Amino acid sequence: MVTTEQKLLAIAAHIAWVVGGIGLIVVPLIVYVVRKNDPFVAHHAKQALVAQLTMFVMSSLVSLLMMILIGFLLLPALALLWIGFFVAAVMAVVRAADSRLFYYPFIQPFVDRL
């Protein structure tokens, strides 16, 4: 049975992007390191960490490419990725609240390496 504390930690890992900045990566990393022996919390923290790190890298890459004007062409694609990430994060929070596991689309090979 999943406790309320486990659910809250899993939800915190998924909504860390609301904090923005360094909290985007630090919150799920801290949750994972502190509770890596808890399968439910560790699963959600790993999923959130890889998803948020992926979005951070993609956004940074597009920002760098904007300096040479190529990034402006990628802004619509990045916007779609952020919308998809937002929807997936909301779904992850709902699943965590229901004591179920959630898998972000397209990132599972990276999550399995952790």
- Which residues neighbour 64 within 8 Å (Cβ) at sequence distance 6 or greater? 71
pLDDT bracket for residue 8 (50, 70, 90): very high
In a domain, 80, yes or no: yes
In a domain, 47, yes or no: yes
Residue 19 pLDDT exceeds 80: no
Amino acid letter at 26? V
In a domain, 111, yes or no: no
pLDDT tens by residue, 26-84: 999 999 999 989 999 999 999 999 999 999 999 999 989 888 888 788 899 999 999 99
- Distance CA(60)–CA(58), nearest Å, equals 5
Bigger pLDDT: 112 vs 85: 85
> How many domains are there within the chain?
1
Taking the C-alpha atoms of 85, 87, 88 and 91 in order, what is their torsion angle to the nearest 10 degrees? 160
Q: What token pair was written down for 73?
A: 């062409």
Residue 7 pLDDT exceeds 80: yes
Give me the domain span that covers residue 93. Answer: 4-102
- Between CA 85 and CA 104, with CA 49 as vertex, the angle to 5 degrees is 45
Query: For the whole model, what pTM was predicted?
Result: 0.89
